[in-house]
Every structure is written in C-alpha cells, then in structure tokens.
Structure 1
Amino acid sequence: MINYNEALEIIKSEFEKLTLHTEEVDLLESFNRILAEDVIADVDLPPFDNSAVDGYAIKFSERTQWKIIGEISAGNYSSFTLTENDAVLITTGSKLPPNADTIIPIEDVEVNGNVLSLKQDAFFKKGMNIRKQGNDLRKNEIAVYCFTKIDAKTIAVLASCGKEKVKVYSKLKTAILATGDELIPINEKPLDDKLRVSNNYSLYAAMKEMNHMVINLGFVNDDKKIVTEKIKSALALDIDLLITTGGVSVGKYDFLKEVFEEQGVKEKFWKVNIKPGKPIYFGSYEKDERRILVFGLPGNPVSSLVSFYVFIKPAINFLFRQNEMKSVTATLQNDLKKKDGKRHFLRGILFEENGEWKVISEFSQSSGNLVEMGRANCLIEIEEDKLNPKKGERVKCILI
C-alpha cells in the first residue's frame, strides 16, 4: 500500500497530462477565474505625474509663503507655469503642472485670501507627495502574470490596462456519482437502514467552491449491471474528472473497481495508508483523444470529503499553479489518540489567541459523523511515524 505523499504525486503527474483550454470572458465575469496569459501594460501606470494628497503644488524653494494662482481637480486639468512665488490648489490624483515638483498637504498650510502660508511647525521637502508617471508600472511591462487567480485587486489592474475582455483557463468539468443500496433522496425521510445521500451535495459544493463546473449524476443502488451502465454513460461525457463514492472497499458489493477496469479505466493506485479514506481508488481513462481522471472515493461521508480536501483539491490547485494546500502550524490544546502507522487527518477547530494559532479536537473522529465535519474548520495532519500527539505539541492544520 502506498503512502499519502506517493499517492498525491501520482495524482499530480496525471493532472499535468490534462489539456487546459482557454476562453475569453468579460472583465466583470472573470472574478475567481485563472488568467491564461501575461497581461501587458499598454500605458504607464500612473499615466502622468499626479498628487498623492489634497494640497498645494509649488516649485520648490526655501520660501514659506506663496500666491495662489488657481486650482486643478482630478479630470479637470489646467496648465499653469509656476514661479517660486506661486501655488496651485490640487486634489488627490490630479495631474501636476509641468514645473511643479512638490505638494504641501492642505493641513500644513493656512489660507488668507489668495495668500498661502506654511504653518509654523510644518515641514516640506522637494519632491514630497508626488506619484511619478510609470512609478507603478511602465508601458510594455507585465502588469498581471499568467496563472493569477483574478480577484477584486487584480480586476482593478486589468481595468487600468484597458482589458475589457480577458483570456482565462476554462473550468474543469466534473461528474459526481454516489453508489449504495442504503441511499435515498434528501427529500425523503430515512426509515430502517436508509440514509439520505449527502456525498453528491458535499462534493458538488466543494468543486463549486473552487469555481469549476459540476454535473450531479445522482446515485444508484449496488447492482453491478446498473452501475456499469451508469459508469459507461459517465465516461462518454465531455468531462475532465469523474468522482464516485462507495463501492471501492473489499465488501461483497464493492465492485466499482472491477467495473472501472471493464470499462477501460487504467488503475494508478488503490488504497492509501491514511485515515480516513484508506480505500481510495484513482485511475485514468483515455479514448478518442479524451482523458478523464477517475476517483473512487469511500462511501462514508467524512472519508469522501476528507479525500477531496487532501487529494483532489491540492491536485487541481497544482494544475492551475495555485497554492496547493493552505495550512498553518498550531499548538495542540488536547491529547490525540493515534496508535497506528497511517497518516491521520483529524477534524479540528483552529483559532487564534494572543497572536498564536491554537487547535482543539474533541471530536469522535468517526468517518460517518457529518455533524462533526460541519463544525470543523481544519484537518490536523499527523504523519505516519507520529503516535498519540500530546497537548502543547505543534501540529500542521489544513484549512477547510
């Protein structure tokens, strides 16, 4: 059985083989998308020398009194030729007169009619409070790099570069299928040994949270013929990923692994030395120049979602050159039980106190306890050779 790091590297190597497609979208529709090109500045930024404050533009000298000869506001430029005796009222962001080289903040001066006087305790020096043309970026320099995830700050830069439309990577397309005789729709009340199907919804939301496309294929019972037809249909879809839950362990009705093989999926690994999520399956399907990566996740709701967080999410982030897994190191607030040689991903509650990250985990860690999973905000990662971590030890916490 392979370990966690080996499994993740195999997954990442297969993700690298996926073909990334691109498309153009309107700037306002590009939020949370991944930029597919370097964006070059078509003008200097800022495009002209301008004032960093509301104040008075002067031509520097040692004098402390000036004559106010006019004003300039943002977008309403007027050209003035200043002498050392002159000052022009100017607002933040306004273009400077040609020979102005200093801005005195408005709070450092007194105005009496058209006479401007420096306050007694005020100080000024040549060049202060001026944003020079091209100080942020020069024309033809890269303004935003390829593979940048577009957020509000990035959109501001793209707009300043005149990018009404931007080239982004197309979203991955994922299909999700749950299996199990125990499953019923969520609008039905469970009786006897039945359970509402939750995996489809949690995995759907997890993919949507990463801003990718998802097809919910619903769920099917543990009937090999029905499962085979469903998998066959899924592999014919225009998708990049197929995620199934259930049917990949060693029970009598766990025949998904067999179905995958019969349908031409090439197994990359089955079972990883982790808890929860040990019976995870991963394979690749290729036909007619199409490639689909196939994940068979455990049926237990917690196991399937943890598997997504520690395998699928970091692999997608790797593909798009994003931070693979956000984590912090925190001080453990209680003892944990770990008696085996597996890598454990334990649910925890991470918090900051007096500038220090701390984590507490008083959950049962049952792979079927969705309520605990819903309350957790991190996974405490305990490596294979670490046993029974104690209160006060430093541990890695993956943010979820």
Structure 2
Amino acid sequence: MKIVIASDSYKGSLSAWQVGTIAQRAIRKVFPEAEVEIVPMADGGEGTMETIVQAASGSLIDLTATGPLGEVTAARYGVLRTHTNTPTARDEQGVSHTAIIEVANIAGLTMVPEVVRNPEQTTTYGVGEVMLHALNQGCRKFIVGLGGSATNDGGMGLLQALGAVFRDASGNPVPPVGGALSAVTSVELDFIDARVWDCDIRVASDVDNPLCGDSGSSVVFGPQKGATPDQVKRLEAGLVNYAARIEAVTEKPLQNTPGAGAAGGLGFAFLLLNAELAPGAKLVGDAVGLEEKVRGADFVLTGEGQSDFQTLFGKVPYYVAQVAAKHGAKAILVSGGLGRGVESLYDHFVSLHSIVTRPMTLQEAMEDAETQLSFTVENIARLLNAR
C-alpha cells in the first residue's frame, strides 16, 4: 500500500511537515510495511517558503532588509538548486538557482503591531531588496508567496528597490509607501535592474481581485490592514493615479488583470515585471513534485487548520484532492476542525475528519494537536485495515 500525506499546516499549531511526520508514525503503527511519503504543502501565505525548501531539500539565506514600516529587519529567503539545460537560467555548472520569497516575512501584517497598523505608511521595498540579493546569488527563477502582506503601495516599494524612479510634481522622489501614491506624476522604469527581465517569476496568489475599484485591493483588503474609511478612499485614489501613470508609460493595461490587487497591489507590480500569477496550492505543488509523488498512491491524506465550504475556493486540500483523483487515488481529509458547509466536500473526499476527539477550547485543541492528530489518523488506518 502507498499512502501520501500532503497537508497544509494547522496554522498556529503544527507545520505542514509536523502534520506529515505525526500522521506517518500513526499510519505505520497499523501498516508497518506501507510506503508512506510526506509531501508538505502550502498556499502562498505564511510557511510557504519553509515548506518548499524543506520538501525540495533547499537552503535558507538570512539577510537584513527594509521591513513594512521602513525599519531594518531580519529577513530570509530560500534557494533551490536543480540541473537544467536552459542557458539563461543556469550557472557554469549547469545548475539553476530558484529563490523562494515569502512576502509575509518581509512585509507581513504580523510584523506590524496592531496599534500602529496603517497601510498608508507601509512598504514593499524590502521585497525588492531580497530579490536583488537573490539576483546577486545567481538566482534567475523566483517563486513568490504573496499572502499576509501589511501593504497597500501597489508594489511601488518593490519597483523602487529594483531601480524604478517615481517623482512628484516638483521632481522629487516619492516615498515608497501607500500614502504617497497620489503624489506620483512621473514614472521611470528604464533603471530597473536589467537582470529582472531575464527572470522566470511565478507568483503564488489565490486572490483574483483587480487593483482598483469596489473589488480592488484598497476597498477589500485595506480595512484588514488597519485602514480607516477615509484612508481607504485616499489609498484607492492613489492606486488609480499610480496605475494610470505606469500604464501611460508601458502601454500595458494591467490593473484589471485578475490578481493585480493581491497583497495591496503587489500583484500589479509583479505583472509589470512579466511574472505569472498562479493559484498558490498549484504553484507549491509543482515546486515540491506533488503529482509525481501521488502517482501510484492508494490513498492521499490532506488537511488544514479548519475546513469548511471555503476549502473549495482553491485551498490546499481541494487542490490535493484534484491531483489524487487525476491519478486514481482516494483522498481523505483530516483537519483541525470542520466548519459550515463542510458536507459539500464529500464530492472530493471519501471521508472527512476533525482531529478534536472531545469537548475542548480552541486553545486546548491547538496545544494538544499532536496527540489528537495521531489518534485520529491511527483510527483511520485501522478502519482501512479492516476493509
């Protein structure tokens, strides 16, 4: 029997790798001879970088960069090294270097204390600095997870760090923050590091919002990042001005592209850099070789912290279930909890399980997640064994 464990993390409790190892031990209590493979998964948000690096045996690079409030902060990115025949993407030894960047640990909302959250004052400048560092290390492929940003600067900070120049009516450089977007009157993109245009940039985003409008980044996500109603109006006006100035120069109508509004408009900036925006779970799955590892499996166990009707909106378990079905494997869902509308998942999973085995608070469930998960997975294995 072959079983693949391809779970997202149980956020705040267990990493994707921990979920996999706990479930693997529990399965082997019942099926000691079974082939049980762990394929940790993520969706582009927090934990994406470490998940991919660990699954693909990559390495982590530590550095300092500009944080969301303009402060110098510790940052890191991952590097994967693979052999390739593509001349533009390899070094002298024929090795391709892929950088894994997670916006959440460079310009993330959790990096900003709640009492000072203000997307008019936050920046993506550090994301550009990390890209430059990776370029200097020989990376020409990038996988970027956009989830969890604190920003609404349209990616102006990113572009400035890469060399772009934005000026106001007096000819002065515009600060790389969301509140300065309305001041932009001229855009100079010719100074962007030339190496960027030779890169393969893939961006993980499950957001299909445009940059501006009622479903744009300011209106939909600004309040979640601390914006007041008045600030939302100013941020929206700033993005409208900023996008119009850029599109006048590039003649590329990008602001209405699905995903342009991701991460406070950072998606728009990456589209400008010719990046490909893709669903986070699929992008991570491709990076860790999910399809190849699922091929030949009898069962695929997947899960997340909480599953409900929203799981069908591109979340990790839904994507894993699709891959399992494609290769004839049966998908089993094991999550921290099951919520509203979860019965809609029966079309994609043979069974749905919450690891909570008795009445308890959320805090108790999170603290006891390892024991609860192990018990639940062992019970599932015993049921399989009784077929």
TM-score, normalized by length of structure 1? 0.24
More strand by share: 1
TM-score, normalized by length of structure 2? 0.25
More helix by share: 2
Greater RCO (CA < 8 Å, at least 6 residues apart): 2
